Amino acid sequence: MPNAYISGTGYFVPDDVVTNDELAKRFNIDTNDEWIRKRTGIEERRFAPDGMGTAFMGARAAEQAIEAAGLTTKDIDMIVLGTLSPECTFPGTGVFVQRELGFADVNNFVPCLDIRNQCSGFLYGLGTAASMVRGGGYKNVLLIGAECHSHALDLSTRGRTVASLFGDGAGAVIVSATDEDRGVRRWTLGADGRFAETLWQRVWDIQRFPFIPQNEEGQGLVEPELMWAQMDGRQVFRHAVEKMITSLMTVCWQEKIEIKDVDLFLFHQANLRINEYIQKQLNIPDDKVFNNIMRYGNTTAGTIPILMAEAEREGILKPGMKVGMAAFGSGFTWGAALMDW
């Protein structure tokens, strides 16, 4: 049975850098750099311009990953994409990425799978892609985490608690088959639907008839509490710390190693304070943790693949390293993975 390793990485972020002070001034939000930085560690984020969506960013990251792996689109057997900000309600965004990359132009009609697990979407996708490769079904799976948050944020004082957290961007990797003793070793995934409403965005509430209320002219009327993301931050923080620590310890126990044996940790970038707390509880030294939330904010499904691509390009992630990953997000859903780079 072949092993599944990451043969190439890539990432893309929009050009528009929005600092904390600019977030306040540009959108007239009653907040400031000190307030945001103290609570989240975020200093700036990227916003996509009007007309740029999740598929475009995902495709640009994918192009880098494919090139880095020394492959072409003809070598890709499947596209797996994680996002909470799809191009539209349906179809899934993976098919838009496929079209953006020109797959169909060369009669390369590879299957596309969208994963809607929000912040843990990349790890759910990694487990899926690695299983397909290790099972012998595919040789190269393109795995993408991409988000266009800014177009669906309540950029006002009313929504500042959530709006200050998120940014736009995409990361991509190629999960490939190899006979070498390397690659994805373990992963664990979990979910707890009891807390589904603790972090959610109800805009398409299919329980309601009609699912979007209409006025006499047939125009949709969406109430703010349905349109914008809602979050109980304290609940999310507490559960994130617990589940990320537990899942990391689980994969280490399964692999018969200790936390100290891991060379580099790539944590989901939701809140720097969450990651610092986890680091402290597990006695992980600073030189074993790579964060970039201060530059990009929370890019949800894109955080870990963006981290991975940046760490590789900066020489932080090196061949032979044992890498630990963990994420937690809406659902609640979570996961962790171990990989030999």
Q: Averaged in consecutive runs of 10 residues, what is the pLDDT profile of the chain (341 residues)?
A: 96 98 95 95 98 98 98 97 95 97 87 97 98 97 98 94 96 98 98 96 88 89 88 94 98 98 98 97 98 98 98 97 98 98 97
Query: Are the C-beta atoms of 312 and 174 separated by less than 8 Å?
Result: no
Residue type, 192: D
Q: If you average pLDDT over every residue of the chain, what do you get?
A: 96
**What distance in Å separates the CA atoms of residue 203 and residue 210, rounded to the nearest whole number?**
12
Q: What is the pLDDT of residue 286?
A: 97
pLDDT of residue 294: 98
CB of 8 within 8 A of CB of 133?
no
What residues does CATH 3.40.47.10 cover in the chain? 3-181, 184-196+230-340
Distances (CA, A) of 168 to 55, 126, 205, 326: 12, 21, 24, 20
pLDDT at residue 226, as a whole number: 86
pLDDT tens for residues 278-301? 999 999 999 999 999 999 999 999
CATH class of segment(s) 184-196+230-340: alpha beta
**pLDDT (0 to 100) of residue 253:** 98
DSSP code for 49: P
**Residue 91: other Cβ atoms inside 10 A:** 12
- 3-181 has which CATH code? 3.40.47.10
SS3 124: helix
Whether residue 141 contacts residue 77, with contact meaning beta carbons closer than 8 Å, is answered with yes
- Catalytic residue IDs: 119, 268, 298
In one-letter notation, the amino acid at residue 24 is A
Tell me the C-alpha to C-alpha distance, in Å, between residue 108 and each of 41, 146, 312.
Answer: 43, 22, 29
Q: What's the pTM?
A: 0.97
